[in-house]
Amino acid sequence: MAELVFFSGTMDCGKSTLALQMDHNHAVRGRGGVLFTRNDRAGVDVLSSRLGLRHAAVEVTDGTDFWDDVVQRRTRGERVDYLVCDEAQFYSTAQVEQLAQLVDEMGVDVYAFGITADFRTRLFPGSARLIELADRVEVLQVQALCWCGARATHNARTVHGQMVVEGEQVVVGDTNAAQAVGYEVLCRRHHMRRMTVAVARATASSPDTLWSEAGGR
């Protein structure tokens, strides 16, 4: 039976890499699929991973209707057995419901990948609906790490290294310290303290300070 599966995790945990691997594994077995993404860091119409992998993909917009898209493809004679949907946190609740409908009524497997919560620790609408509707929610086993070495559980938005908790929910960026506006993954403790690696380094009075702040890790 077809499934709607939501693979979730923080930034830097390998979601896009797994999405590309999933597509490869199904394609080499003769299954027909479509890659979708939205707001990828590499630009439009591409699904990319931080390891350097990238593949052409269909860019999801506010007007995308997954049901109509698959109907049109099948009408043209294309084989559509599965969908790989990256950056699914940016999809609307209606679009997530369309994905569920494809699973239930057309037997299309849907593999969605995304982060669950934004920089304010609030669920993205798309992720919330996926959690509500998915047959399975899989937390990726490759753990992203906070600067202290603990498992990273939260995504922080930074401006010149300083964490911010206000602003638009969707601002495309990457975990690149060179960017004026970027993102950093943190454990809950340091997210609550708004302590990014830049702040920790600036306030450290000795090499042992960061070790102590990290709880001995």
Which of 3, 59, 78, 87 is the catalytic position? 87
**How many whole angstroms separate alpha carbon 107 and alpha carbon 188?**
39
**Catalytic residue flag (residue 168):** no
SS3 73: helix
**How many whole angstroms separate alpha carbon 85 and alpha carbon 87?**
7
Please enumerate in sequence order all residues whose Cβ is within 8 A of that of 198, keeping only pairs 6 or more positions apart, or say none: 158, 161, 162, 177
Order of strands across the sheet that contains 109-114: 58-59, 33-37, 82-85, 109-114, 4-8, 136-139
Site of tokens 């090499």: 207
**How many whole angstroms separate alpha carbon 72 and alpha carbon 52?**
32
Q: How is 135-192 classified by DSSP, letter by letter? A: SEEEE-SS--B-TTSSBP-EEEEEETTEEE--S-S-----S-TTSSEEEEEE-HHHHH
Residues annotated as catalytic (active site), given as ranges: 87
